[in-house]
């Protein structure tokens, strides 16, 4: 079993996969932080200790919370497919330098995407970083299917 983790491509995949998943996981505490500082909760039990007249106001959406949630959702839509396809891609035994290129570009593009999203940077910064990540996923998918096709 330890053999998988002796393969350089698989080690590189593991490293970058955990990094991007960690980045995605951090969006959840960030949402909690925005919910508390902006006073925008989704559940009645979350505001049970507040005075009754404040509660209704605290259960409304806040643009900052919605923004970080959209960013989190975009991570789910892109980072999870990266890890799933990337795992299969790493198992097809690609050339190390090509694989590293895919992993590094993807990780970079998602970090840029998060910065562009959270700080509302002018377009096309966010759109471009999203497209680059998507192209990496398509490229790995194509590579896997052209190596292993068993319908």
15: its two tokens: 């490293």
Q: What is the largest CA-CA distance in the chain?
A: 63
CB atoms within 10 A of CB 49: 7
What distance in Å separates the CA atoms of residue 128 and residue 41, rounded to the nearest whole number?
Answer: 32
Contact letters for a second copy, residues 80-109 (x by CB under 8 A): xx-xxx-xx--xxx----------------
CB of 25 to a second copy, least distance (A): 6
Q: Which of 1, 4, 2, 3 is nearest to 87 (CA)?
A: 4
- Give the CA dihedral 10, 16, 22, 26, nearest 10 degrees: -160
CB of 85 to a second copy, least distance (A): 6
Contact letters for a second copy, residues 24-63 (x by CB under 8 A): xx-xxx------------xxxxx-x---------------
* Residue numbers at the binding site for a second copy (CB under 8 A): 1-5, 7-8, 10-12, 14-15, 17-19, 21-22, 24-25, 27-29, 42-46, 48, 67, 70, 72, 76-78, 80-81, 83-85, 87-88, 91-93, 117, 120-123, 126, 130, 134, 137-138, 141, 144-145, 147-151
């Amino acid at each position: 079993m330890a053999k998988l983790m002796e393969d350089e491509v698989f080690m590189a995949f593991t490293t970058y996969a955990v990094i991007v998943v960690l980045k995605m996981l951090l969006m959840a505490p960030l949402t909690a932080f925005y919910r508390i500082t902006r006073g925008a909760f989704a559940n009645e039990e979350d505001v049970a200790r507040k005075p009754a007249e404040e509660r209704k106001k605290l259960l409304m959406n806040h643009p900052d919370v919605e923004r970080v949630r959209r960013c989190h959702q975009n991570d789910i839509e892109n980072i999870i497919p990266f890890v799933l396809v990337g795992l299969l891609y790493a198992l097809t035994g690609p050339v190390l330098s090509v694989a590293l290129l895919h992993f590094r570009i993807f990780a970079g593009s998602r970090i840029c995407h998060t910065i562009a999203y959270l700080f509302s940077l002018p377009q096309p910064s966010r759109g471009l970083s999203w497209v680059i990540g998507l192209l990496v996923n398509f490229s790995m998918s194509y590579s896997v299917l052209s190596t292993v096709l068993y319908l």
